[in-house]
Amino acid sequence: MAGGGGGGNTRELDQTPTWAVASVCGVIVLISILLEKGLHHIGEFFSHRKKKAMVEALEKVKAELMVLGFISLLLVFGQNYIIKICITEEAADTMLPCKLKKGAEHLGGVLGRPQAPYYAAAAFSPHPHRLLAEANMKAKCHEGKVSLISINALHQLHIFIFFLAVFHVMYSAITMALGRAKIRGWKEWEKEAAGQDDEFSNDPTRFRFTHETSFVRQHMNVLNKTPASFYISNFFRQFFRSVRKADYCALRHSFVNVHLAPGSKFDFQKYIKRSLEDDFKVIVGISPPLWASALTFLFLNVYGWHTMLWISIMPVVIILSVGTKLQGIICRMAIDITERHAVIQGIPLVQVSDQYFWFARPTFVLFLIHFTLFQNGFQIIYFLWILYEYGLDSCFNESNQFVFARLCLGVVVQFLCSYVTLPLYALVSQMGSTMKQSIFDDQTSKALKNWRAGVKKKAPNSNSKHGGHGSPTAGSPTRAAADSGIALT
């Protein structure tokens, strides 16, 4: 690529036809505009449906794409400076992702195996020195030293970032679609549960012991057993009807009675769906700890360390542990009910508490789900990038059977996490000590904010006119919600 030479594959921009430059740029600009318009229309759809959490999640996806775009731009701008950084050949031969081949030129980077295309071409080319000079024309290192990372490796890194951006959006969309599909199936349970509330409230003679209720009977097989059998039973329960009708009705009944007025008309299924959207708004982002975990994987992906194996197993272990814990929380609630030996009317009242969760923090469970989704998605994207760059029979893949098993494991984790564990968390996390903000829709939140602002504004006048006592009803939040025509349904 010597300045403006006439070689067929060495022409620079000043020797390239203008129609070729304009055509390539036009296609890139057109695709970019179509993508931007598509995201804009998706945002308008969510806004029209009053899906505030989904709008915020979409904005977070855009922000992540912008970060990846900045990374790509920095690589383009800094590549001429990066390849001028020289290191010793001994350092370049350490911690390689693939076994070092004798005689290979050190043109690969930390992400790519040691590449030898220029070396192989030079061996059979009438101008070997010219090819090698073109490959390292800007890497002016002294004898015994090589570039920190080559132009070819930087190009491969660019492609990896593109894969990460594209599949991050697709992966997030699949996660949300599966979660919503799971919660959509609870709509019929919500209608039946609302009917049961009316049935038991209008029939005061229907009393029974707690151990006779459907919720407790379904968990009797784990009562009075060893801790090992308790966790084994809950481990397998997450694979077969992770949320049952009796579980849903019991948790719904307890939530309404603890956080709202007993007998309130409340659409719990719709609230869970909004809560899932709030959780999705969290897991769609890539936080600094997740970036650190990705960089740690790239750093430890050394030949012989089997890092690819560990990154495939880790998401499975975490998500199965989380699912077992969530199932165990439901069973623990049933055990607590039986220990009270109470006589109840209708559905038993579950005790709500953060103590059921690890470290008394329900959000820690959400972080583990977030970490699992990111790690699983990252290893799938890494596999697809390797398949594109190096093919199936590359040194990254130990065997085709192992690759197939790892890919199937990634798909299973994605389905299990999105369709089972995340909706289960959205339901069980309502049994914490505090109530989530998503219980209020946008209109209710706006009415409460207006009420608060109105009280602050009227407080000085009320104190001066009534000796420090304001009106007890004129500015109440219930009145503000009623004025806006808002109900809890």
Q: Is the pLDDT of residue 134 over 80?
A: no
* Residue the block writes with tokens 């190096």: 390
* More confident: 351 or 403: 403
Burial of 462 (0-12, 13-18, 19+ CB in 10 A): middle
Q: What is the distance, to the nearest Å, from the Cα of residue 473 to the centroid of all Cα atoms in its chain? A: 44
* More confident: 456 or 389: 389
* More confident: 30 or 352: 30
Cα–Cα distances in Å, from 434 out to 276, 320, 355, 356, 429?
Answer: 16, 26, 12, 13, 10
Q: Is the pLDDT of residue 121 over 60?
A: no
What does the pLDDT average to over 283-291? 85
pLDDT at 475: 44
| SS3 annotation, 250-261 | HHHHHHHHHHCC
What does the pLDDT average to over 58-73? 84
* More confident: 197 or 296: 296
pLDDT at 120: 36
Among candidates 414, 423, 425, 416, which has minimal Cα distance to 173?
414
* More confident: 309 or 138: 309
User: Cα-flanking dihedrals φ and ψ of residue 344, to 5°?
Assistant: -125, 165
Which are the contacts of 384, defined by CB distance < 8 A and separation ≥ 6? 163, 167
Q: Is the pLDDT of residue 100 over 70?
A: yes
**Residue 381 to residue 387: CA distance in whole angstroms:** 10
What does the pLDDT average to over 247-265? 78
Strand 86-88 versus strand 145-147 pairing type: antiparallel
Q: Is the pLDDT of residue 95 over 80?
A: yes
Q: Which of 128-132, 236-240, 333-337, 378-382 has the lowest mean pLDDT?
A: 128-132
pLDDT in tens, 211-220: 556 777 777 6
pLDDT at 319: 92
pLDDT at 480: 42
Among candidates 414, 484, 473, which has minimal Cα distance to 179?
414
CA 365, 378, 171: angle at the middle one, nearest 5? 75
pLDDT at 371: 92
If pLDDT is split at 50, 70 and 90, which confidence band does 367 have? very high
pLDDT in tens, 296-335: 888 888 887 888 888 888 899 999 999 999 988 888 887 7
Maximal C-alpha separation, the chain:
101
pLDDT at 223: 56
pLDDT at 334: 79
For residue 19, give both structure tokens.
């129609």
What does the pLDDT average to over 125-138? 41
**Residue 440 to residue 448: CA distance in whole angstroms:** 10
pLDDT in tens, 3-17: 444 444 567 777 888
Q: Is the pLDDT of residue 439 over 50?
A: yes
Q: Is the pLDDT of residue 341 over 60?
A: no
pLDDT at 212: 54
* Residue the block writes with tokens 């996660």: 175
pLDDT in tens, 223-237: 556 777 788 888 888
- Across the chain, mean pLDDT equals 74
Q: Which of 88-92, 167-171, 254-258, 485-489 has the lowest mean pLDDT?
A: 485-489
Q: Give the torsion through C-alpha atoms of 209, 211, 214, 216, to 10 deg.
A: 140
- 3-class DSSP state of 342: coil
What does the pLDDT average to over 125-132? 38
Q: Is the pLDDT of residue 157 over 50?
A: yes
Contact 97, 108 (CB under 8 A): no
**Residue 197 to residue 346: CA distance in whole angstroms:** 8
pTM: 0.75
Q: What is the distance, to the nearest Å, from the Cα of residue 408 to the centroid of all Cα atoms in its chain? A: 19
**Residue 100 to residue 165: CA distance in whole angstroms:** 31
What does the pLDDT average to over 394-411? 82
Element at 147 (helix H, strand E): strand 145-147
What does the pLDDT average to over 141-153? 84
pLDDT at 444: 54
What does the pLDDT average to over 353-375? 88
